[in-house]
Amino acid sequence: MSNHVLSTDTQAILLLCASFGQNRQTEPQPLTLSEYNLFADWLLENQMRPANLLEATAKEQLQQITNKKLNPDRLLALLKRGAMLSLAVEKWTNQGLWVMGRSDRNYPKRLKQRLRHSAPAILYGVGNLELLSLGGLAIVGSRDIDEDGLSYTQRVTQTSAEQAIQVISGGARGVDQAAMLGVLEAGGTSVGVLADSLTKAGVNSKYRSSIKEGRLTLVSSYDPDAGFNTGNAMGRNKYIYALADYALVVNSTVNQGGTWAGAVEALAKIKDIPVFVRSRMLLALPEASDSEGVSHPHVSDGNLELQRKGAKPFPSEPWNSSLKDVLVMSASNPELVSPEPVLEIAPQPVQLCSKHSKDIYEVVLPVILNHLQRPIDIKSLAESLNVRQSQMQDWLNLAVMEGKVRKTNKPVAYVVSQEVTQLSLL
């Protein structure tokens, strides 16, 4: 809300759709998003903008509406709420908030392009507007998260901050809040898409300094003073995904909760946002055992089911190279799109915690190199070692980065590098 001045388009949209802190059942009832979309279509058909509704001729034009779902008298009553609008804008301004309508120049293009009519008619916010256009990694998960999941979330956000990848989440207790605070504490940037209490969050001590530094933006499509509402929490999920380039579901429960619902919706409707899940670690060595201090991280049933629905396993640790490049590669590689059953490369499968993944790689690398004395495609290599293709891809990415394996094109295959072959002869 630059200089605290609303465009006339936004003023009209607020008059039609905002509750101004009142119960939404108060007459006249503000337009729902679907009702506003119907009305927006009517405006387009009549070559009008929302701002035209503030002109003296608006009453006559609105009386020409024939759609039974749009009551002209209700629309006129909503447009007469100018005094309420003035008081609300003054209050929002004093609280440091800004507000924009879907027709505003600064409105996030990602929301309009990806969600179209599902993009919110009004967006309230506090913080740096520019962050809404930067994309990044959406990190979501359940409110109840164990220590292993919390530690995993913190490692992802630490890497994201180090590699200038913005984190987008929902601000709810559990994974969402841990993701946002984690990246901020590591010096990165974040966007929080809230379902309630924007005004309270904007002055919360754990967020305030990052907002002032321009590293955090909080937004909501609901009244800034609105309390928690399950429907609102579900409705905002798509905005989290739409503002991101990639998404990671840390944990979820099948057919339960907002995390599950949001991920299923994103997989079905937001096709250009790759959805990743924290997936089962492939276990791998017969000599590993509980007595050696190996932990068994739990992968939620929801995440496993999301993989079956098309989600991709999030790249395995370590993420020493560019996480963004690995995400691009993982998202575009068709071999990683189809979820596969978890396979083992050892008679006694043991799920290792992420800190052992580098050790596993060092152990299996000689076996991989031995199979790559001639070019071989990843599917054949994974099958020969009885390992999931996504895990093999992660190991091959590391081997290519270290110069131990060379990738060929047409056909795509992998072969041990000449330098490694020469060294083995010495």
Per the DSSP assignment, residues forming a β-bridge with 248 are: 139, 276
Asked if residue 275 lies in contact with residue 287, where contact means CB atoms within 8 angstroms, the answer is no
Q: Which two tokens stand for residue 252?
A: 């979820």
Whether omega before 108 lies within 30 degrees of 0, making that bond cis, reads: no
Supply the pTM of this predicted model. 0.75
Asked if residue 424 lies in contact with residue 415, where contact means CB atoms within 8 angstroms, the answer is no
From first to last of its 426 residues, the chain has per-residue pLDDT tens of 444 579 999 999 999 999 998 877 788 999 999 999 999 999 999 999 999 999 999 999 999 999 999 999 999 999 999 999 999 999 999 999 999 999 999 999 999 999 999 999 999 999 999 999 999 999 999 988 888 899 999 999 999 999 999 999 999 999 999 999 999 999 999 999 999 999 999 999 999 999 999 999 999 999 999 988 888 889 999 999 999 999 999 999 999 999 999 999 999 999 889 999 998 644 333 333 343 333 345 678 899 999 999 999 998 887 877 888 888 877 766 344 333 333 333 333 333 334 446 667 777 888 888 889 889 999 888 887 878 888 888 889 888 888 889 998 878 899 998 754 433 332
Q: Which two tokens stand for residue 104?
A: 């505003």
Per the DSSP assignment, residues forming a β-bridge with 101 are: 122
Amino acid at 223: D
Between helix 72-79 and helix 8-17 the angle, nearest 10°, is 120
User: Which is it for strands 167-169 and 246-249: parallel, antiparallel or unpaired?
Assistant: unpaired
Fold of 354-425: Arc Repressor Mutant, subunit A (1.10.10)
Helix (H, G, I), strand (E, B) or coil at 161: helix
* Span 129-333 CATH architecture: 3-Layer(aba) Sandwich (3.40)
Q: Rounded to the nearest 5°, which phi and psi values hold at 11?
A: -60, -45
Closest CA relative to residue 152, chosen from 257, 264, 249? 249
Can you give the residue ranges of every domain in the chain? 2-86, 129-333, 354-425
Q: Which two tokens stand for residue 64?
A: 């020409």
| Token pair 């990738």: residue | 407
Angle at 172 between CA 188 and CA 323, to 5 degrees: 35
